[in-house]
Structure 1
Amino acid sequence: MTASAQIPRTAHVIRSDAEAIAVAHKLAARFAIEASVRDRERRLPVAELDEFSASGLWGITVPKEYGGAGVSYVTVAEVVKIISSADSSLGQIPQNHLGVLDILLQTATEEQKRYYFDKVLQGFRFGNAFSESKSKNAGAFETRIRFDKDTAQIDGEKFYCTGALFAHIVPAVAVNEQNQAFIAFIERDNPGLTVIDSWDGFGQRTTASGGVTLNAVKVPLSAVIPAHKAFDEPTADGPISQIIQAAVDTGIAVGALEETKRYARESRPWIDSGQDHGWQDPFSIAAIGELEWRVHGTEAILKKAGQAIDQALLTPNEDSVAHASVVVAQAKVLSAEIALLASSKLFELAGTRSVLGKYNLDRHWRNARTHTLHDPARWKYHLIGNYLLNGVKPARHAWN
C-alpha cells in the first residue's frame, strides 16, 4: 500500500447537516492556503486527503440506521461546493466514493451494507476503477468478471480513476457474460491490482485520475454487488453522481469569482475612465455584478437539484427520478457555464498582470475546462428539452 492508503485512524463521525457544512468551511480555509502550490507542482494532496476523510465528511451520506448522519443531498452538494471553491481537485476526489455509497445502499445485502458503511465511518476511502478509455462509449465496459463458486475474478484496464491512488479500497466495475454490471470492492494491496499515476491533464492536476489494471484479481463474493440493479429500477443514483459534478463546477466558479473581486480591486483604472482606482470602473462594477448573480442563480438551482434528489430517495419511482435527473441537468448546465465564464472573466477584470505565472490564476480556468468535460453539457440541453417538450424521461445511467 502507498503511504496515502495506510489504514486510517478512526475518523470523526459527523452527526448533522449543520455540522457537515461547518466542518467543510473549516477545511476549505486550510486547503485554500497551498492550493495554488499543489497545482503548480502537481503535489498530490496526501496529507490533505487524510485530514479530509478523518474529518468525517466522507461518511456523511451513510444512513442514520448504520451509524451515519444521513445528510440531505442539498448538504452534500454544499459541502462539495465549499471544498471545491478552495481546491477543486480535492472537491472532485470523493465524487465516486459518495456515488458508491448510494449504490451500496440500493443493491448490497444487509451484511455488505453494515460492513462497508462501518469501514467508511472509520475513515476508509473508496477510489474507483469505473471508466475505460478504449471502450465504445462511457457506458460500455470491456472489463470482465467471472464467478467461480465463492470467488470472483476481474480482468481489465481502466482510466480516469480519480482517487484510486489514495484509496484503501478500489471499487471496480466489470460486466458478466450477460453484460450486467457488477462492482467488486478490491483491497488496495490485492495481488493483480495496479494503480498507475499517469494523469497529466492540464487541469484538476492533483486528482491522480490515472489508470488501473486488473490482472486476474480475485475477491470473495461478499465483496461484489450487482450494480446494474441501481439502474434496472428507478433510483436516484444517476442524479446523485451528476449533482456532485455540478457542485464541483459551482465551487470552481465561486473560487474564481472571489479571486476576480480581489484582483479587480487592485487593478489600475483604464486610461479613459477618469477614475483613480480600478474598483471605480463602471464596466468592471457591472461585470462583477453580473457574475455575482449568475453564481448565486447556479447555487439556487444546485440547491433545488439536491431537494429533487432527496424527494426521489424518499419516494423512488419513474416520475420522481426523472424529475431529479432534469433538475440536476439544469444545475450541470449552469454550473459548467458559470465556471468557464467566471474563470475567464477573472483575467479580463484583473488586468494584464493577472496572467503572470507567479499568480497561477489560470488554474481556475484549467480546472473548469477539464472538469466540465466529464460529461457534455450539450446533451443536458437535449435531455431537459426532450422531457419538457415531449415528456421523454431521461435514460437511467450514471451520467443522467
Structure 2
Amino acid sequence: MTDPRIADPAPAPVVRPHLITSDAEALETAQNFAERVRAEASIRDTERRLPWKELDEFVATGLWGISVPKEYGGAGVSATTLAQVTATIAAADGSLSQIPQNHYYSLEVLRVGGSETQKRYFYDRVLAGERTGNALAEIGHKDFKRRTHLTRDGGRWRVNGTKYYCTGAIYAHWIPTLVSAEEEGAVRTYIAFIPRSAPGVTVVDDWDGFGQRVTGSGTVRFEDVGVEPEWIVPFQSSFETATTIGPVAQIIHAAIDLGIGEGAYRDTLDFVRGRARPWIDAKVETAAEDPLTLSEIGQVRVRLRAADALLRRAGRLVDEAMANPTEDTVASASIAVAEAKILSTKAGLLAANKLFELSGTSSTMKVDNYDRYWRNVRTHTLHDPVRWKYQAIGQYILNGRRPPRHGAI
C-alpha cells in the first residue's frame, strides 16, 4: 500500500517574483504581506493546511531573493533587515516564517563556499522564483555508510541516506543536502543542491510536532540519487576559516522566536482590551485598568523590546563580519547573535505564556487557537539549546575563547 504521506514528486510551480531593490522596500513588502496572511494563520495551524498558495504569494513578493548579493542581481539586504523581515512574518504566522529559514541559510553557504559559476546559477534560479528547502539533520550515525553519503559512480556522484526535520523540503525546487564523502581515508562534508524532482528523492510529510505544524519539516529519503558535480558546494571547509554561516543561520532563528512573541503580545493586548475581565480585588471597571495586569503587560513589552534591540545590534555585527570576515569579527558577531537568541527565546516564551495568564480562562477556547503561539515558540526554540549559548558567552567574556564555528552558534 502506498504511504499517503509521501508527497507529490513534482516540484512546486515557479512564480516569477517582483525584484526588491532596497532594505526599505523589503521591510515595507514584509509588512504588507504579513497583514495579508495573518487572517488565516490560525486556520492553517488548526487544520494543518499546507500553505502552498501563501508560499507562492510569498515568493512573488520578492522576499525570498532579498539576501542575494547586489553583484548577482539581488537586493543584498543587511542581516538586520533579513531578521526584521523574518520577525514581521513570524508575528503573523510562525510556521510560514520558518519555511524560508534554510533557504536563506543555503544562500549564505553558497555565498561563502560556492564557485562563481555556482553562485550565478543558483542565485539566478532564486531570483527567477525557485526556492530551496533543506535536508541537513539526521539521527546520529558515526558510521560513514549509515550517514547520508556521497559516492562517485563513474563521471557522476550518487547520494544515499535519510534526513529528518527537513523544513521546507516538501515545498522546494532544490533540497540543499548535507552529505559526507570519503576522500583519501578522511570524511569531509558538502552541501549538495539536489532537485526536488530528481529520481530517487522521496519526501514524506510526516512532521507531527505539536508546533510549527505547516513548516513541512518531514523526512527525505535519497536512494541512489544522481548529482551533478556543479551542484556540490564545500561545507566543512567553510568552517575551517572564519565565516558568517553560523551567525546568519542563528539570527534568523532568533528573529522567528521574537516574531512569534510579538504576535502573541499583539493578541494579548486585543484580548485584555476587549474581552478579559478585571480581578474582583482590583476594583476597576476593565481588565485594561487592572494595576497588576498593567505591570505584567509592561514587563512583556520591555522584554520584547530588549530582544529586538539585541537582534538589531547582532545584525550590525553580522554585517561587519560579512564585509570583513576575520577570527575576531566573526566571533564577535556569533556572540552577539547568541545573546539575541537567548533573549528572543525568553521573550517569546514569556509573551506566549502571559497571553493566557493575563487574558484568563476564556482565552483557552479552541476557536481562538491562541495556544498556537506557545506551541510554535516552544517547538522552534528547541532548535539549539540556549544553555550552551550562555556557556559560549561566558567563555568569550571571561577567558577570551572564541565560540566554535558551526551552524548552531
1:101-134, Cα deviation, whole Å (9 max, x unpaired): 0111111111111000000001100011110134
Residue equivalent to 2:4: none
**2:180 is matched with which residue: 168, 175, 183?**
175
Give 1:6 deviation, angstroms. 3.1
In terms of mean alpha carbon deviation, does 76-85 or 175-184 score higher? Answer: 175-184
Residue equivalent to 1:105: 111
Matched, 1:378 2:397: no
Counterpart Cα distance in 2 of 1:284 and 1:258? 15
1:345-394, Cα deviation, whole Å (9 max, x unpaired): 10010111001111100000000110000000111100111100011100
Counterpart Cα distance in 1 of 2:141 and 2:380? 20
Matched, 1:24 2:30: yes
* Distance verdict in 2 for CA 1:7–1:352, change over 3 Å: closer
Residue equivalent to 2:76: 70
Counterpart Cα distance in 1 of 2:61 and 2:51? 15
Contact 2:11 2:171 in 1 (8 A): yes
Contact 1:4 1:167 in 2 (8 A): no
Contact 2:9 2:196 in 1 (8 A): no
Residue equivalent to 1:133: 139
Matched, 1:200 2:205: no
* Distance verdict in 2 for CA 1:77–1:40, change over 3 Å: same
Counterpart Cα distance in 2 of 1:222 and 1:40? 41
SS at match of 2:283: coil
Matched, 1:49 2:55: yes
Counterpart Cα distance in 1 of 2:11 and 2:361? 42
Contact 1:4 1:166 in 2 (8 A): no
* Distance verdict in 2 for CA 1:203–1:301, change over 3 Å: same
* Distance verdict in 2 for CA 1:384–1:12, change over 3 Å: same
**2:293 is matched with which residue: 284, 297, 304?**
284
Contact 2:12 2:171 in 1 (8 A): no
SS at match of 1:90: helix
Residue equivalent to 1:354: 363
Residue equivalent to 1:248: 256
Matched, 1:323 2:363: no
Contact 2:134 2:168 in 1 (8 A): yes
Contact 2:11 2:197 in 1 (8 A): no
Residue equivalent to 2:152: 147
* Distance verdict in 2 for CA 1:233–1:201, change over 3 Å: same
Counterpart Cα distance in 2 of 1:152 and 1:321? 33
Amino acid at match of 1:239: P
Give 1:273 deviation, angstroms. 1.1
Counterpart Cα distance in 1 of 2:101 and 2:44? 20
Give 1:142 deviation, angstroms. 1.5
Residue equivalent to 2:237: 229
Give 1:188 deviation, angstroms. 1.1
SS at match of 2:179: strand
1:285-310, Cα deviation, whole Å (9 max, x unpaired): 11101111110110000001111110
What pairs up with 1:271-310 in 2 under 5 angstroms? 271-310=280-319
In terms of mean alpha carbon deviation, does 281-290 or 263-272 score higher? Answer: 263-272
Give 1:254 deviation, angstroms. 0.5
Counterpart Cα distance in 1 of 2:8 and 2:125? 18
Give 1:4 deviation, angstroms. 8.2
Q: Percent identity?
A: 49
SS at match of 2:167: coil
Give 1:135 deviation, angstroms. 3.5
In terms of mean alpha carbon deviation, does 385-394 or 126-135 score higher? Answer: 126-135
Counterpart Cα distance in 1 of 2:99 and 2:296? 32
* Distance verdict in 2 for CA 1:135–1:331, change over 3 Å: farther
SS at match of 2:192: strand
* Superposition CA RMSD, Å: 1.4
What TM-score do the two structures reach when normalised by structure 1? 0.97
Give 1:276 deviation, angstroms. 1.0
Counterpart Cα distance in 2 of 1:361 and 1:103? 36
Residue equivalent to 1:257: 265
Contact 2:10 2:197 in 1 (8 A): no
Matched, 1:339 2:348: yes
What TM-score do the two structures reach when normalised by structure 2? 0.95
SS at match of 2:282: coil
Unmatched tracts of structure 1, length 5 or more: none
SS at match of 2:187: coil
Give 1:3 deviation, angstroms. 9.0
SS at match of 2:165: coil
Matched, 1:267 2:276: yes
Amino acid at match of 2:170: L
SS at match of 2:137: coil
**2:67 is matched with which residue: 61, 76, 81?**
61
Counterpart Cα distance in 2 of 1:169 and 1:3? 12
In terms of mean alpha carbon deviation, does 210-219 or 221-230 score higher? Answer: 221-230
Counterpart Cα distance in 2 of 1:75 and 1:4? 33
Amino acid at match of 1:118: D
Counterpart Cα distance in 1 of 2:289 and 2:68? 49
Matched, 1:117 2:126: no
Amino acid at match of 1:283: L
SS at match of 1:375: coil
Matched, 1:213 2:221: yes
Contact 1:4 1:50 in 2 (8 A): no
